[in-house]
Amino acid sequence: MSAVARSRPETAAITIVGGGIMAATLAYQLARRGIGEVVVLERETVASGSIGRATGGLRQQFADELDIIFAHEGLHFYQRFIAEMQAETALAAPPPPPFYQYGYLFLVSNNERWRAMQGYVALQRRLGVPTELLTPEEVVARWPGLRLVTEDLCGATFCPTDGYTDPAAMTRALLGTARRLGVSVYEHSPVVAIQVARGRVQAVETPQRRLLTPLVINATGAYAALTARLAGINDLPVYPLRRQLYLCEAVPGLPQALPMVVDQATGLHFRWREGDLLVGLPHSPSPDEEAASLALAPTAFDLTLDPAVWSQIKQAIAHRFPALAGLHLRRAWAGLYEMTPDEHPILGPTEVEGFLCACGFSGHGFMHAPLAAQLLIDYITTGKSSALDIALFSLQRFREGRLLPATRLL
Ligand SMILES: Cc1cc2nc3c(=O)[nH]c(=O)nc-3n(C[C@H](O)[C@H](O)[C@H](O)COP(=O)(O)OP(=O)(O)OC[C@H]3O[C@@H](n4cnc5c(N)ncnc54)[C@H](O)[C@@H]3O)c2cc1C
């Protein structure tokens, strides 16, 4: 008889698998709504997955309505949480990290892109996001310390209410509050089995415990497809995509209130991080890497750095940001995006009753998790969701070829 089978079974009304930002926003909102017997199972430590490796950007500048709505709500959620925690000093909890609301600045140097961006900005403004269109001269006048090369710039978009924060610290703060409100959070607890009988979830198992539970939420980020297999679902389309970030020494002369600056042509982006400069550049995977990702091969989850990216960063800097020439690297790391075919999340029920999806944020999970959690909790408690129809994000859409529209800004 195994150690797990020998130990006394425990119970949970809702079991959240994963200890990242999706789990944190879910656990926190469930607890705030007074829903009890919630358990979070994280296989390593809280925020050890993608969220602990993320940039922490909160931007509402997207090209399609759904992304804008998710991001707009996400940003307001974090602002409310920060304010609430600051007010609740009696809990003696460490306050959450500050939100650096310095905006996001997209620099655009392609005429066709610039025309498209103007359309996206009109859409953002219709949805309540105050994005502005700037001429190259206005960009130089507002941030002279950036010392931009502007010859080939068509213009820029700037949303002053965008910004960034520390995503791992935010995850820990949310789960810390959830814990104080009664949620059980177990670290070093990988879910290794999900028991399903007569089409319904019955229990989950970790090496330490067997948890009887009618509801399991798959919030395992880039590993979501592997977790779904434990419940007998073999076609959850969530694939890992490696992304790299570089922490560099501060560059003198850059403005203190530096927005997240994004050079749209190359994808180069940077912002301050505790006195250093955090720099990233999305690179394309090779055909072999793409095939490994679609096959969920072990190599696709590898976090070894691709050395070519640093050279691409230096090239992009040389073209646009002479002030950043000679950037001195402190350290670099890789993390995984969790891509779906239409780059929108997968939320809600599956054919296994009681097994719900909360995954597939395609690199936008920090921004999008708060509204995703709200939709799921609405669904769990009332059978439908209020802000948006959760059925839009069903797993079934991929099986039926009803993909959602999505347009990348980068
Ligand atoms: C370099 C980089 C930059 C990014 N920048 C941004 C950004 O600026 N803004 C933004 O919105 N998003 C950004 N993202 C994306 C964001 O980090 C993800 O979308 C987000 O973390 C997804 O949250 P999650 O909770 O679903 O997954 P994760 O944060 O990955 O958490 C999933 C957790 O599940 C755990 N787990 C896996 N399998 C099991 C199991 N069997 N049992 C128990 N636990 C398990 C993992 O250990 C992990 O801790 C970035 C990502 C990367 C890599």
Task: Give distance in angstroms: CA of 49 to centre of ligand 1.
Answer: 5
Read off the pLDDT of residues 47-82 as tens digits, 9 standing for 90 and up.
999 999 999 999 999 999 999 999 999 999 999 999
Task: Give distance in angstroms: CA of 80 to centre of ligand 1.
Answer: 22
Read off the pLDDT of residues 6-36 as tens digits, 9 standing for 90 and up.
456 799 999 999 999 999 999 999 999 999 9
Mutate to test the pocket of ligand 1, among 16, 208, 220, 246 (most ligand atoms within 8 A of CB): 220
> Residue 359 CA: which ligand 1 atom is closest?
26
> Residue 48 CA: which ligand 1 atom is closest?
49
Task: Considering the domain delimited by 3-54+167-238+342-399, tell me its CATH architecture.
Answer: 3-Layer(bba) Sandwich (3.50)
- Whose Cα sits closest to atom 4 in ligand 1? 54
Structure tokens at 193: 């089995």
- Alpha-carbon distance 197 to 306, whole Å? 44
Q: Is 54 in the pocket of ligand 1 (CB under 6 A)?
A: yes
List average pLDDT for each run of 10 residues in the chain, which is 410 residues long: 56 98 98 96 98 98 96 97 83 80 97 96 98 97 94 97 97 96 97 98 97 98 98 98 97 93 97 96 95 98 96 94 93 98 97 98 98 97 88 97 86
The b-or-e profile of 179-214 (16+ CB within 10 A means b, else e) is bebebbbeeebbbeebbbeeeebebbbbeebbbebe
Residues of the chain with CATH 3.50.50.60: 3-54+167-238+342-399
Residues 101, 169 contacting (CB under 8 angstroms): no
Question: Does domain 101-161+239-338 correspond to CATH entry 3.30.9.10?
Answer: yes
Residues of the chain with CATH 3.30.9.10: 101-161+239-338
Angle at CA 47, nearest 5°, toward 42 and 48? Answer: 80
> Residue 191 CA: which ligand 1 atom is closest?
42
